[in-house]
């Protein structure tokens, strides 16, 4: 029976732990000569530009012995009016799985409902679960655990923030999110996590969020597709920057994370992202390892 990975909660806590352990094995070089997905074809259907998601998936698919087929949505019949449902049914006859990077989360849900192959969420406006798998792997690498780690997220309550909330529910991470009023994470996702007794708090003060934090995390203020809000958001978010004074309020051994690309001088300063406390490039590398483990889990 096919399985999809549209949100982090499509896997159980136990399955996620096993996936993270397998990611660490893959990173260490264990089974580096194995090609468990040889003969399989995996599509990459992208509506949005990408660096890390596209390249890490393409490289990982090749390393697992499969072939990646990049699909620009505007270059297939989907761009000329063919329905999402028909596209899903047709591509299911050719491919073993597909990674979709798009805008509205409803698009990927409709695709998965009509697909006979596994569908992986490479990013939607509501969720970014593949990024969060890499985030969890990075935190576990650097801190040795997940449960009880204090993570402060500063900035826009976007898809990354939503998936981090689900990660808190699943792993026991203590999460404080500091967002400007009106830019909080999705209310339903937040309330579901709270009802599940996740240690998640919403606030408007970055200083309060980072006090005693083990991890500081931020993302761009203006996501793809929201460029028309750029000037307004830059004014509203000017105090939601990870800089040296803010970092000094966290634990002395706190690490700094960013899902990239970074707009240096906006949500994060050069002296922080380039500091020894920054793990953003380890975090980016871990996209490769966690996605390989994810593909193995779904397709072996």
CB atoms within 10 A of CB 161: 26
Q: Is 219 tagged catalytic?
A: yes
pLDDT at residue 1, rounded to an integer: 86
In whole angstroms, give the CA distance from residue 133 to residue 113: 23
Q: Does position 226 have pLDDT exceeding 80, yes or no?
A: no
How confident is the model over 124-177, as pLDDT tens digits? 999 999 999 999 999 999 999 999 999 999 999 999 999 999 999 999 999 999
Helix 159-171 to helix 129-143 angle (10° resolution) is 50
Tokens 């970055």: give the residue: 206
pLDDT above 70 coverage of the chain, percent: 99
User: Locate tokens 């889990």: which residue?
Assistant: 297
Catalytic residue among 52, 54, 96, 101: 101
Reply yes or no on whether 259 is catalytic.
yes
What is the pLDDT, as a whole number, of residue 34? Answer: 80
Q: Could you say which of 22, 52, 128, 258 is catalytic?
A: 128
* Token pair listed for 23: 């990611």
Residue 171: its pLDDT value, please?
Answer: 98
Q: Given 4, 156, 186, 219, which residue is catalytic?
A: 219
- Phi-psi sector, 260: left (phi>0), alpha (psi -120 to 50), beta: left
Order of strands across the sheet with 118-123? 67-72, 41-46, 97-101, 118-123
- pLDDT number for residue 228: 67
Catalytic residue among 259, 283, 289, 291: 259
Rg (CA), the chain: 19
Name the nearest CA neighbour of 267 among 276, 254, 280.
280
Tell me: pLDDT of 225 over 80: no
Query: Rounded to an integer, what distance in angstroms lies between the CA atom of residue 45 and that of residue 182?
Result: 32
b/e for 191-219, b at 16 or more Cβ within 10 A?
Answer: eebbeeebbbbbeeebeebbeebbbbbbb
**Domains along the chain?**
8-128+287-299 (3.40.50.1370), 131-283 (3.40.50.1370)
Segment 257-284 shows an average pLDDT of: 98
Q: Which of 173, 254, 243 is nearest to 211 (CA)?
A: 254
pTM beyond cutoff 0.95 = yes
Looking at residue 31, its pLDDT comes to 77
Torsion from C-alpha of 290, 293, 299, 300, nearest 10 degrees:
180
- Side by side, which strands form the sheet with 255-258? 200-203, 174-178, 150-154, 215-218, 255-258
CB 209 within 8 A of CB 242: no
Active site residue 131: yes
Residue 264, SS3?
A: strand
Give the Cα separation of 89 and 189 in Å (integer).
30
Question: How far apart (Å, rounded) are the C-alpha atoms in residues 209 and 151?
Answer: 9
Q: What is the mean pLDDT of residues 107-115?
A: 98
pLDDT at 280 (0 to 100): 98
* pLDDT at residue 71 tops 70: yes
One of 58, 131, 241, 283 is an active-site residue; which one? Answer: 131
Q: Which one of 96, 127, 287, 289 is the catalytic residue?
A: 287
- Let me know if 287 is a catalytic residue: yes
Placement of tokens 């709270």 in the chain? 194
Confidence (pLDDT) at 38: 96
């Amino acid at each position: 029976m096919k399985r999809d990975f549209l949100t982090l909660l499509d896997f159980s806590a136990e399955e996620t732990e096993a996936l993270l352990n397998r990611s660490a094995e893959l990173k260490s070089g264990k089974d580096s000569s194995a090609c468990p997905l040889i003969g399989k074809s995996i599509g990459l259907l992208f509506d949005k530009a990408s660096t890390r998601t596209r390249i890490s998936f393409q490289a990982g698919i090749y390393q697992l012995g499969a072939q990646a087929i990049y699909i620009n949505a505007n270059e297939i019949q989907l761009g000329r009016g063919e329905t999402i449902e028909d596209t899903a049914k047709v591509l299911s006859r050719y491919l073993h799985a597909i990674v979709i990077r798009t805008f509205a989360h409803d698009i990927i849900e409709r695709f998965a409902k009509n697909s006979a192959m596994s569908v992986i969420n490479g990013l939607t406006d509501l969720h970014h679960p593949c990024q969060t798998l890499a985030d969890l792997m990075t935190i576990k690498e650097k801190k040795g655990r997940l449960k009880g780690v204090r993570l402060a997220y500063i900035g826009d309550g976007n898809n990354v923030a939503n998936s981090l909330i689900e990660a808190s529910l699943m792993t026991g991470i203590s999460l404080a999110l500091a967002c400007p009023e009106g830019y909080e994470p999705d209310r339903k996702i937040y309330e579901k996590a709270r009802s599940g007794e996740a240690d998640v708090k919403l606030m408007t003060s970055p200083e309060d969020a980072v006090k005693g934090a083990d991890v500081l995390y931020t993302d761009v203020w203006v996501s793809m597709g929201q460029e028309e809000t750029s000037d307004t958001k830059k004014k509203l978010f000017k105090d939601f920057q990870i800089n040296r004074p803010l970092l000094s309020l966290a634990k002395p051994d706190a690490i700094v994370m960013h899902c990239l690309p970074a707009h240096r001088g906006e949500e994060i300063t050069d002296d922080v992202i380039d500091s020894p406390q920054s793990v953003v490039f380890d975090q980016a590398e871990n996209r490769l390892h966690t996605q390989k483990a994810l593909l193995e889990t779904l397709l072996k």
